[in-house]
Amino acid sequence: MRNTASTSLSKGKIRQSWSKYNLYNLQRFRKPTTASRTFFQQKWTAKAAARAYHGEQVREGQWKRMFSKHIRSVIPMNTTDLAADDGSKESAGRGSGLSETSSRNRSRPIPFTQMAFAPLERRLDVAIFRALFASSTRQARQFVIHGAVTVNGQKMRHPSYLLNPGDLFQVDPDRVMYATGAPKTAFERREARQMKQKSAEPEAEAEAEAEQTKAKPETTEKESAKDTLRALMSQAKTIMSTDKDVLPAKRKQELRGFQKAVRRVLSRSDTSSVLTDNLEAQFSQLTLLLNAKRAEKKPAKGSERETQDKKTSPTSTKSGEAASNALSDAFQAAAEGGEVDTSELTDEEFDVLRHALTQMRDNPIDHSKPYATPWRPRDYMAPFAFIPRYLEVNQNICAAVYLRHPVARPGSAEVPTPFGESISTPAYGWYLKRRW
Amino acid sequence: MAPRIQPQRVSNALLPYLTSSTSSSTSSITPTSTPLSSPILSRQFSVTPAPQTRLRRQMFLWLTTKGAALKHHTPGETNYLTGRDKDDKSGGNPRPFPGNSSFLSESVLSEELRNEIYVRVVEKKKSVRAVSVEFGVDMKRIAAVVRLVELERRQRAQGKPLALPYARAVHEMVPTTPLAQEGEHPVYHESINDLPAHPSTGAQIFYPVPESRSFNRVDAGRVFSGAPALEIDVAAKISHPSDLIDDIVQNPNSIEWVGKGGNARQVLQPADVRIPHPQLVQLERDRKAFPNERRTVTERHNERLKKQEEAEQKRREVAQARREKSVQHVEPEGGRFNYRIQDAKFTKETVGVDGRAPWAPGRRYGIPADDRKRGIVKIPTRVEA
């Protein structure tokens, strides 16, 4: 949901957000005219535009205290150049080299003022947004406040925490998937509602079902594992109840954690993760099956199918309808855990099927999630997808390390800003203690 | 309200999973373009047309025409507002913002490269410095990658939820540095020898030097830090600034100090010493000096690396030992805490001139603690790893 208060079309301000409104504003933004405007007016406009994007959630006074006129920059050094001479050539003559065309003189200028808002990039909420873990800084802020973010393994509830170089922050993967995934459709929302209602029904039924599942011969191994877990849990409970006064608190904590873990494992059969468990088992079975079938089929593949089939992309439903129908039938059969009839499929379709099954394992349909499943990126995400170099991100676990403070280098600045020098320079001048 | 798109039921259950067979998780549903000319037709229960301002109309017009290409991404390609054609302008790095030519979307490490770095450092026990040079990845990044991959492995082992489809999608949208196949030339990720601009080099200094003298990087550093010029016989011993590397790498405390009291500072060293990989300058010099003796050059380089690593290791151990020595661990029997007791240092810096500075350790009579006062920032400034 876009923040209607902060992303308006009439003002046309650019925000740190992936909303399509913001994308449109970004696209139609033109640098303000300077003709017939005083220098003060120019600076005011530039500062207003820049602040609407940089730290819009930060009070002006707070930002003024953070601002620093000192800007970090680096020069990439070439070791061959350094080894070639001791620098006396550069200082020869009147101090800038005898010959004008020295290789090092050709470097591009460093865009210093583009780094004016670099101190804000240290903030935890901004860093979460930059690591692509939230769709806007305000959402990142909410994640922090709601306790979904840890810094160096400890829960951090202050969005204004300034990261230090080497800090590792991690966001709850489910929240990230929710923030960056496509929203649910009405149909999916209804499915989720129905599922909820079902699970809320009396637990007697569930217990009866559990009894039934126990009876099944194929799950005996799992059940035995569960039994041992249960035994362990009861043991832990007894320890807790009897030796309450004797045990040191640390041990108590461990025991409580252990109990929790056991409970999580035991309650799996009631939640959605059992679906994924089943999928896992199904998947391994299916891949085995498919491999076997494929090996059988290989000698016969010769002339039956034309190369046309390869061209028919699996996504286009119009062309090659019959073939894709067979494919989708096979997929459905596979997803439901039945026998797969692969005799009608081409090699290409085999690969597609396998690929689809792999993706299904990682990305299952699960209506209990708050985002549309199977997960897919939300619309208009790609125009905003970039990760600055001062962060090292591991998307699998939704964790990132703040390596160092952002720096400027010849020709480029690391602070992501949609504005050019015509905005950032007057804005930088505005915040200097001795204003230009 | 935006023109509503009727939720179309996708009949084919296969659709969301079936995309290009290379690797992708994008939805293959083509953007359904609603006919803009008849927004009223899609609203079956309302007679009055939805209020649409001019700006909203323009926005939805743009989103359905030019902006439609931005809705979904093509795996392996960036999809920025600046378009794909302008990519080669800045050395292959695309610019995400049309108004800012100095911000580039730089590539991230691919999954394979990340895992390879982890394997080299943790399993093959290669030094961070060597791996950094090999892949062209900053040493800090290498350390971070090792940390993150370690964490990922632990979470996988624990069966914690992962965001795999999300990770795949992001790696499709963002430029990535691939892991070079065997026999291929490695793709360097970033420049590893970045020299941070020292604040003292910002001053413009007029420093007359006789033409008969050569004024090199060592001399420039001394001038910037306000140190007297080197004695002639000392200066004559330094044929190249990289001669200083060995001593300083072995013992960083050997750098000369100038100034007094709070103004004391170390003499600014030449760039050859201050870059993260000074040994590469020495390697280049050796290559120039012995162009036909590759083996000798490599041996000398390896020896230097080994010496440097030993020195660093020794320094780390000494620091750790000193830390251990200063801290006394006390664990009361049956208690819940492990107390770490450290002696307070009673110096002017730690407790102030009168011994009652607000930052001094412990509680002092008449010096109230600020940790619960109104108006004092209580947000932590650091979190221990």
- Residue in the block written with tokens 């926005």: B59
Q: How many angstroms away from the CA of A225 is the closest CA of chain B?
A: 16
Nearest by Cα to A176 from A16, A400, A398, A399: A398
Q: How many angstroms away from the CA of B52 is the closest CA of chain A?
A: 12
- For residue B222, being part of any structural domain is answered with yes
Q: Tens digit of pLDDT for each residue in A346-378?
A: 677 777 777 777 777 788 888 889 999 889 999
- For residue B48, being part of any structural domain is answered with yes
CB A64 within 8 A of CB A435: no
| Inter-chain touch A20–B63, beta carbons under 8 Å | yes
Give the residue from B291, B306, B325 where a domain finishes.
B325
B214 and B280 inside one domain: yes
A130: Cα separation from own chain's centroid: 10
**C-alpha span between B355 and B346 (Å, rounded):** 8
Please determine, for residue A117, whether its predicted confidence score (pLDDT) is greater than 70.
yes
Q: What is the pLDDT of residue A104?
A: 55
* Domain count for chain B: 3
B224 and B275 inside one domain: yes
Partners of residue A158 in chain B, C-beta under 8 Å: 379-380
- For residue B116, being part of any structural domain is answered with yes
The more confidently predicted of residues A277 and B142 is B142
> What is the 3 state secondary structure string of B67-78?
HHHHCCCCCCCC
B237 and B282 inside one domain: yes
Give me the residue from B97, B109, B193 closest to A77, CB to CB.
Answer: B193
B321 and B212 inside one domain: yes
pLDDT-derived band at A331, boundaries 50, 70, 90: low
A161 touches chain B (CB under 8 A): yes
Q: What is the pLDDT of residue B67?
A: 93
| DSSP E strands, A90-219 | 149-151, 154-155, 167-171
Q: How many angstroms away from the CA of A202 is the closest CA of chain B?
A: 29
Mean pLDDT across chain A, nearest whole number?
Answer: 78
**C-alpha span between A229 and A238 (Å, rounded):** 14
Give me the residue from B140, B164, B383 closest to A151, CB to CB.
Answer: B383
Return residues 291-330 of A near B (CB < 8 Å): 313-315, 317, 324, 327-328
Partners of residue B174 in chain A, C-beta under 8 Å: 385-387
- Residue in the block written with tokens 């420039």: B220
Q: Tens digit of pLDDT for each residue in B309-361?
A: 999 999 999 999 999 999 999 999 988 999 999 888 889 888 889 888 878 88
Nearest by Cα to B79 from B64, B66, B96: B96
B267 and B229 inside one domain: yes
B364 touches chain A (CB under 8 A): no
Q: Which residues of chain B have pLDDT under 50?
A: 4-16, 18-40, 87-90
Return residues 188-227 of B near A (CB < 8 Å): 190-191, 193-197, 199, 209, 214-218, 220
The more confidently predicted of residues A336 and B295 is B295
Average pLDDT over residues A84-96: 84
B236 and B319 inside one domain: yes
Q: What is the pLDDT of residue A277?
A: 46
Contacts (Cβ under 8 Å, ≥6 apart) of B175: B78, B93, B94, B105, B106, B107, B108
- For residue B346, being part of any structural domain is answered with no
B266 and B156 inside one domain: no
Instruction: Determine the structural domain holding residue B123 and report its residue range.
Output: 108-177
A147 touches chain B (CB under 8 A): no
Q: What is the pLDDT of residue A371?
A: 94
Give me the residue from B17, B161, B385 closest to A174, CB to CB.
Answer: B161
Give the residue from B55, B70, B85 where a domain finishes.
B70
Return residues 264-283 of A near B (CB < 8 Å): none
CB A84 within 8 A of CB B217: no
B169 and B213 inside one domain: no
ipTM for the complex shown: 0.84
- For residue B352, being part of any structural domain is answered with no
Please determine, for residue A321, whether its predicted confidence score (pLDDT) is greater than 60.
no
B153 and B257 inside one domain: no
Q: How many angstroms away from the CA of A350 is the closest CA of chain B?
A: 11
Tell me, what amino acid is at A86? D
- For residue B1, being part of any structural domain is answered with no
Q: Residue B172 maps to which CATH number?
A: 1.10.10
B313 and B219 inside one domain: yes
Specify the range with the lowest mean pLDDT, choosing from A92-106, A306-320, B188-202. A306-320
Q: What is the pLDDT of residue B128?
A: 94
| Inter-chain touch B17–A360, beta carbons under 8 Å | yes
Average pLDDT over residues A262-278: 42
B172 and B207 inside one domain: no
Specify the range with the lowest mean pLDDT, choosing from A78-82, A177-181, A320-324, B76-80. A320-324
Give the residue from B288, B307, B325 where a domain finishes.
B325
User: Which pTM was predicted?
Assistant: 0.78
Q: Which of the given ranges, A217-226, A231-240, B250-259, has the highest pLDDT on average?
A: B250-259
* Count of other CB atoms within 10 angstroms of residue B127: 18
Return residues 370-399 of A near B (CB < 8 Å): 374-377, 379-389, 392-399
Please determine, for residue A292, whether its predicted confidence score (pLDDT) is greater than 90.
no
B135 and B210 inside one domain: no
CB A421 within 8 A of CB A436: no
Say how many CB pairs under 8 Å bridge A and B: 324
- For residue B314, being part of any structural domain is answered with yes
